[in-house]
Amino acid sequence: MRTISATEASRKFSDLLDAIERGETVTVTRGNRAVAEIRPAHRRTGRDLRQALAETSPPDERFEADIADALTYVANDRTDPWADA
């Protein structure tokens, strides 16, 4: 893992992104203190979503009632602001 200063990161941002794209993780420091760690983004897939949903319990009746109640506030406010223009 490479460490660079915030100043160097800003001056060489394109090179920094190239290194991260190649899989490198970079720690950015300000005043000799680590302030950020930049690493390649984790690519998500449909399989990741299906797995996350499989591990989540389905909404209960109270949740569904709360959503329906909230939607009444949104659904009833469908007026045209330009109607009087």
DSSP H helical ranges for 13-81:
13-21, 46-54, 61-75
The pTM score is: 0.53
Domains along the sequence of the chain with CATH: 2-38 (3.40.1620.10), 46-75 (no CATH)
Residue 76's pLDDT band (cuts 50, 70, 90) = low
Q: With CA atoms as reference, report the closest residue to 34 among 14, 13, 9, 16.
A: 9
Give the span between the Cα atoms of 13 and 21, in whole angstroms.
12
CA distance 40 to 38: 7
- Residues 9-37 pLDDT 10s: 999 999 999 999 999 999 999 999 999 99
- Res 5: pLDDT: 96
